Amino acid sequence: MDWPARAVWPPLDSAARVRRFPLGTVAHSCASRRPWWGEQMLPDGAVERVQEVCAAIGKACEDAGVAQWDVLGEQSYGLDLNLEAGRITMVGAGGEGGFGVRVVDDGRFGFARLVDPSGAERAVDQAMSILRQSPQISGFELPAVAETAPLPSAFHADVAHLKAEDLMDRADAMLAHVASVSPEAVVTGGGLGASATAAAFLSSEGIERASSSTSMGAGVQVTIDVDGQLTSGWEGASSDDLLPEVPDCVDLAVTWAECTRDPIKVDPVDGPQDVVFSEGAFGSLFGMIVGSAINGPRMARQESLWSGRIGKQVMASHLSLVDDGRLAGGARTASIDGDGVPTETRMLVESGRLEQVNWSVRDAAKAMADGQVEHAQSTGSAIRSIDGPPSTGTRDLVLTSSQRRPTPDELVAQMDDGWMVHSIMGAHTANPTSGDFSVTTSSVLRVVDGEVQGAIRQAGVTGNLADALSGHVVLGSPNQRDGRTGRHLHLADVLFSGTIGVNPA
């Protein structure tokens, strides 16, 4: 069974981390004990057991006379290791999971979450109670079963067979590597994690999927506190497969802890300037602003940056944006979405022109019923968890350019007078309706005549992402780093010329 190729509805947390498992902890001295789940994280028959509970909840729905229903179930097992003050501070092992049931009747819906399968009848009663109080949406009903093409499995035995001592060996290797490349640097935060998940989806309309997946994450904060200067760098990566023993995010964290030392003094610069954003800094703003702009319900409510602009130019003509639900190795790759609708590879922005936006089943029906749009239908874009019903979201967003894509060094070399911004703080304050943002950075380098002059302590960064994406923009070469570094965003370093302001503090 191919669905989901991974956890279809991943948590919106750092790309450097996987789920935390609070149910049990293992002291460093006893981490070599055999894991309580056996030879691999995912116990034999785990997927089948999740399916059986989904079927039992479905039967409870049928017995209660529910017109339509769907159930999502997940059970995860994993290991979590924390790093602090240059050493391993905790290794945890445990599991988490549950089931979410949605009931639909005459355009109304209710939802309930349960952990104990014996509470199925009570959960269905709760969902029906909510349904009776919810507003009716004309035309809202669950989707029928449809054919979907299979996807490669996201279950990797190398990850599933990891044990606590394996993570500890990897952590020791990361700590030793940092000490060898930068003797004054200390790993002051971060960790490693690995998990395996069994998932199943079942609906009254005949949609049934089940599979297992794995996930691994690494994150590290490197700090140098010498001669009254404290600088740091944070980087992370995640993957469905096994990460290298020392992922390249470790070296990058060391690099930024080192290159931001001995800050230089610079004079204030008025007006927009040339700025290179790293993929991470760019992604923080892109996800907040563009991720909202392509949301159908927000567009229908005139809350989108691009409301009323379908068919019009919204980016530079060399840029295109794809929402790919079937991307190999993607963070949100799956054969169906949270509603059970088949996913697709969809061109949202082609050669700078906005072609379409995203919808889930209920959001599309509601927008039409409210008279906000003449036509809308699901685009296979529903995001869902066991904690709540589906809503419109994105799969894996991939930004491309038809122009030559320079390396990061080449992007910097193109600037006569500018800045390189590696990370930002405050992206959540960006205005997704206007595209305006005002953020701060303490990872910023001054560039003159194509060469880095040094770091400054802090700067404010202001601009409008819509203007920046429509102006003179150069998209860098694709990221070749270990694992995923931007969760479901697949971007690159980017050069904006004359549209972003950097104000040294």
Q: Report how far residue 277's alpha carbon sits from residue 443's, in angstroms, rounded to the nearest whole number.
A: 11
Whether the bond into 135 is cis, omega within 30 of 0: no
pLDDT at position 505 over 90: no
Q: Report how far residue 290's alpha carbon sits from residue 292's, in angstroms, rounded to the nearest whole number.
A: 5
| CA distances, 119 to each of 56, 100, 112, 132 (Å) | 10, 12, 11, 20
20 φ/ψ angles, rounded to the nearest 5 degrees: -95, 150
Q: Residue 203 in contact with residue 142, Cβ under 8 Å?
A: yes
> Using 50, 70 and 90 to split pLDDT, how confident is the model at 40?
confident
Q: Residue 360 in contact with residue 390, Cβ under 8 Å?
A: yes
DSSP 8-state secondary structure symbol assigned to residue 265: P
Strands 396-401 and 489-490: parallel
| CA distances, 183 to each of 82, 186, 325, 344, 439 (Å) | 21, 8, 44, 49, 32
CA–CA–CA angle 234, 500, 283 (5° rounding):
40
Q: Report how far residue 287's alpha carbon sits from residue 421's, in angstroms, rounded to the nearest whole number.
A: 17
The confidence score (pLDDT) of residue 13 equals: 35
Q: Catalogue the long-range contacts made by 364-368 (C-beta closer than 8 Å, 24 or more residues apart).
A: 364/296, 365/107, 365/137, 365/138, 365/139, 365/140, 366/137, 366/140, 366/297, 367/296, 367/297, 367/300, 368/138, 368/139
Q: Report how far residue 465's alpha carbon sits from residue 306's, in angstroms, rounded to the nearest whole number.
A: 12
The confidence score (pLDDT) of residue 28 equals: 37
pLDDT at position 241 over 50: yes
252-276: average pLDDT: 93
142-146: average pLDDT: 97
Please return the burial class of 469, using the count of CB atoms within 10 Å of its CB with bins 0-12, 13-18 and 19+. Answer: buried
pLDDT, tens only, 155-179: 999 999 999 999 999 999 999 999 9
Q: Over the chain, what is the mean pLDDT?
A: 92
- How many CB atoms lie under 10 A from the CB of residue 440? 14
Sequence ranges of the domains in the chain: 25-167+196-216, 263-505
Q: Report how far residue 221's alpha carbon sits from residue 83's, in angstroms, rounded to the nearest whole number.
A: 9
Pull the structure tokens for residue 470. Answer: 């429509």
pTM here? 0.90
Record: fold of 25-167+196-216 = PmbA/TldD fold (3.30.2290)
> Using 50, 70 and 90 to split pLDDT, how confident is the model at 6?
very low
Q: Residue 270 in contact with residue 415, Cβ under 8 Å?
A: no
pLDDT at position 426 over 90: yes
Percent of the chain surpassing pLDDT 90: 89
Q: Report how far residue 195's alpha carbon sits from residue 21's, in angstroms, rounded to the nearest whole number.
A: 9
